[in-house]
Amino acid sequence: MTHPNDPTLRSFIDVDPTLDFPIQNLPYGVFSTADGLAPRVGVAIGDDVLDLWQLAQDCRIDVAELGVFAASTLNPFMALGPKVWSRVRARISELLRHDNPELRDNEKLRRRVLVPMADVKLHLPIAVSGYTDFYASKEHATNIGVIFRGKDNALQPNWLHMPVGYNGRASTMVVSGTKVRRPRGQLKPANAEVPSFGPCQRLDFELEMGVVIGQSSTMGEMLSENQAEEMIFGFVLLNDWSARDIQQWEYVPLGPFQGKAFATSISPWIVTREALEPFRVNGPEQKPTPLPYLQQTRPNNYDLQLDVDLRAVQMKQAMRICRTNFKYMYWSSVQQLMHHASSGCAMNIGDLLGSGTISGPEKHQRGSLMEISWNGTEPFELPGGGKRTFLEDGDSLALRGWCQGDGYRVGFGEVEGTILPAQ
């Protein structure tokens, strides 16, 4: 059988080479339609969604538990494990091939299992068990360090020795398209003697990737590189909205809290680890050499281009404010997971790991407004007039990402959010 990642594969569904969802991708999501059926599992192919529940009902996909595709999240399917993930993806690829008549020539079945993307509602694809946000881009950490501590003390002493992170809130994880309410909290400007309570004035985004954990680990046990990789089901785009002024006042001594707890947006499609396999690359050289439990034997980064577009409230069209790449991350997703479990922390199916803001070495590769506007000291111009340092009510942000193959791209769609005024 031809491997699902084969760049020569073609589907009987025509997919433009510039679109995100060719046959080499096949990302998973959860969708519903106007037919009144409950949300269920599907796969994106071109401009359509392939209904896996309908395919399983027709005995076209062999899984031990047919109900996993009738679920409103991917957690039950992920629980079946990596061998099943791989087998199901291969079977879907086979059904969609241009030279396989099984689905191509069965018009009645095609009408039942292929739903136009324009006709579906996309839902949060997983039940998020726990959320951990890392701080794993050296460029981002350096920029933030320079802003607050100066060039000579940019990186904290621990940063080059371990992936730094904190436990966030899973309850405010939302799917792309969900509007985000401007948070309120305690604020204390530098010229104020005491704090006040009110709407955030320095609302920011953070361009990240989210790692979806598809298998659990045992409390008290560490993970090898192989074990950590096998536990990763796939990746999503992630925007970890940030209230910089709330965060700046609260974060000493225990770190981010309310400034990060109000919303985190993810894309509706999970691109599988297997689909990203052709795009693996080595990350930056790590000096000093990490401790043995964090050392890697193979490339664990990905050549994954990322864009951020801002449509300010007065603009008709969006403007590009960032273009960077996931390959720049100093600490890989596998290292983050190995470190997370190293204390004996049990990982659960549905855990989500945020990569941390993804910035690159160039100015146009800065993955947050904190960096782009240099903490508000360097406003940027908007087309047609106006400036921005941080987000204003009515502003909309869209994050997009893709890996470029030979004549096709493996993409993530987008994660979009629009800012609503504080209540």
- pLDDT range class, residue 66, cuts 50, 70, 90: low
| Strand ranges in 59-188 using DSSP code E only, listed in sequence order | 114-116, 121-123, 131-134, 165-167, 173-175, 180-181, 184-187
Please give the pLDDT value at position 80.
95
What is d(CA 112, CA 253) in angstroms, rounded to the nearest whole number?
A: 56
What burial class does residue 14 get, using C-beta atoms within 10 Å of its C-beta: 0-12 exposed, 13-18 middle, 19+ buried? exposed
Question: What are the residue boundaries of the structural domains of the chain, listed by start?
Answer: 28-123, 131-420
- pLDDT range class, residue 196, cuts 50, 70, 90: very high
Looking at domain 131-420, its CATH class is: alpha beta
Mean pLDDT along residues 335-345: 98
Residue 65 pLDDT > 80? no
Please give the pLDDT value at position 211.
98
**Which amino acid does the sequence have at 74?**
L
Say how many CA atoms lie within 13 Å of 288 toward its Cβ.
8
Gyration radius from the chain CA atoms: 22
What is d(CA 219, CA 414) in angstroms, rounded to the nearest whole number?
A: 35
Mean pLDDT along residues 139-150: 96
**Which amino acid does the sequence have at 337?**
L
Mean pLDDT along residues 297-323: 96
Residue 1 pLDDT > 80? no
Say how many CA atoms lie within 13 Å of 123 toward its Cβ.
17
Mean pLDDT along residues 306-322: 95
Mean pLDDT along residues 371-395: 96
Mean predicted lDDT score pLDDT of the chain: 96
Query: In this predicted model, what pLDDT tens digit does every residue of 167-177 receive, in sequence order?
Result: 999 999 999 99
Residue 64 pLDDT > 90? no
Of the candidates 313, 322, 353, the one whose C-alpha atom is nearest the C-alpha of residue 212 is 353
Please give the pLDDT value at position 35.
82
Tokens coding 25: 């991708």
- pLDDT range class, residue 384, cuts 50, 70, 90: confident
Residue 143 pLDDT > 80? yes
Query: In this predicted model, what pLDDT tens digit does every residue of 211-233 receive, in sequence order?
Result: 999 999 999 999 999 999 999 99
Please give the pLDDT value at position 67.
87
Range of weakest confidence among 41-45, 62-66, 158-162: 62-66
What is d(CA 73, CA 403) in angstroms, rounded to the nearest whole number?
A: 25
Residue 100 pLDDT > 90? yes
Phi-psi region of 416 (alpha: psi -120 to 50; beta: other; left: phi over 0): beta
- What CATH code is assigned to 28-123? 2.30.30.230
What is d(CA 275, CA 71) in angstroms, rounded to the nearest whole number?
A: 23
Mean pLDDT along residues 132-144: 97
Query: Could you give the angle at the alpha carbon of 327 between the alpha carbons of 277 and 86, nearest 5°?
Result: 15
Percentage of the chain beyond pLDDT 90 is 94
Mean pLDDT along residues 85-114: 96
Active site (catalytic) residues: 140
Please give the pLDDT value at position 27.
98
What is d(CA 203, CA 4) in angstroms, rounded to the nearest whole number?
A: 42
What is d(CA 263, CA 397) in angstroms, rounded to the nearest whole number?
A: 14
Please give the pLDDT value at position 230.
98
Q: What element of type H or E holds 235?
A: strand 232-239
Please give the pLDDT value at position 130.
97
Mean pLDDT along residues 100-117: 96
Residue 2 pLDDT > 90? no
